[in-house]
């Protein structure tokens, strides 16, 4: 298992503005990933401010539990193989490991957890100003949205750099605080 702190600024943009930004970075190729969002029927994890997902990317599977910090999110990550993913997806067998132990310590009954929805992203990652810029086209339920994320080592600079990039390209900057998991789960209500 690995732990990381995720600090990022995000903005939702129009398709036209997304395409304008993609055109700035023609040397970077897109890849596709699908996030499977997990909770119980009562949305216990979401109510506690946690997000649990399994990301499928290029034949690999990574389980991630995000917990809030004063600035950013603490991410706990574990690799899954395809069999582990299929056992969870098809039979609700939650795998042993550090994330299961952590959830159990919080009195979460992992046998009640299941995949509630998924979101597929066509993503372009670009090294940018010492951080990582991600240009995302997201598909979930019957919705397509476009999100620009900038991961950086602190929130104020991430917001400033993202705002500068968008405004320099004639795009109005509106900070997006609603996560992909929230948008995807809200869409299935």
Is residue 130 within 8 Å of residue 111, measured between CB atoms? no
pLDDT of residue 114: 97
Is residue 102 within 8 Å of residue 144, measured between CB atoms? no
* Nearest-angstrom CA–CA distance, 159 and 180: 18
pLDDT of residue 132: 97
pLDDT of residue 1: 63
pLDDT of residue 7: 83
* Nearest-angstrom CA–CA distance, 135 and 138: 10
Question: If you search the block for the tokens 């948008």, which residue do you land on?
Answer: 183
CATH number at residue 79: 2.40.320.10
What's the number of domains the chain is made of? 1
pLDDT of residue 6: 72
* Burial class of residue 42 (count of CB atoms within 10 Å of its CB; 0-12, 13-18, 19+): exposed
Is residue 2 within 8 Å of residue 62, measured between CB atoms? no
Is residue 35 within 8 Å of residue 188, measured between CB atoms? no
* Nearest-angstrom CA–CA distance, 19 and 146: 9
96: domain range? 2-187
pLDDT of residue 3: 66
> Residue 165: which region, alpha, beta or left (left: phi > 0; alpha: psi -120 to 50)?
alpha
pLDDT tens-digit map of 6-34? 789 999 999 999 999 999 999 999 999 99
Residue 116 DSSP SS3: strand
Which residues in the chain land under pLDDT 50?
none
Tokens of 83: 């069999």
């Amino acid at each position: 298992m690995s732990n990381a702190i995720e600090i990022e600024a995000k903005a939702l943009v129009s398709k036209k503005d997304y395409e304008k930004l993609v055109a700035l970075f023609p040397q970077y190729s897109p890849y596709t990933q699908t996030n499977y969002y997990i909770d119980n029927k009562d949305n216990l994890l979401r109510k506690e401010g946690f997000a649990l997902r399994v990301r499928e990317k290029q034949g690999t599977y990574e389980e991630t539990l995000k917990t809030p910090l004063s600035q950013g999110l603490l991410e706990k990550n574990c690799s899954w193989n395809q069999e582990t993913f299929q056992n969870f997806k098809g039979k609700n067998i939650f795998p042993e490991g550090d994330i299961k132990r952590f959830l159990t310590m919080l009195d979460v009954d992992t046998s009640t957890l299941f995949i509630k929805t998924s979101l597929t992203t066509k993503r372009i990652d670009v090294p940018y100003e010492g951080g990582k810029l991600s240009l995302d086209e997201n598909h979930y339920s019957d919705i397509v949205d476009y999100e620009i994320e900038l991961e950086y080592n602190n929130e104020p600079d991430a917001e400033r750099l993202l705002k500068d990039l968008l405004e320099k390209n004639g795009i109005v900057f509106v900070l997006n605080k609603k996560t992909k998991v929230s948008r995807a789960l809200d869409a299935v209500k």
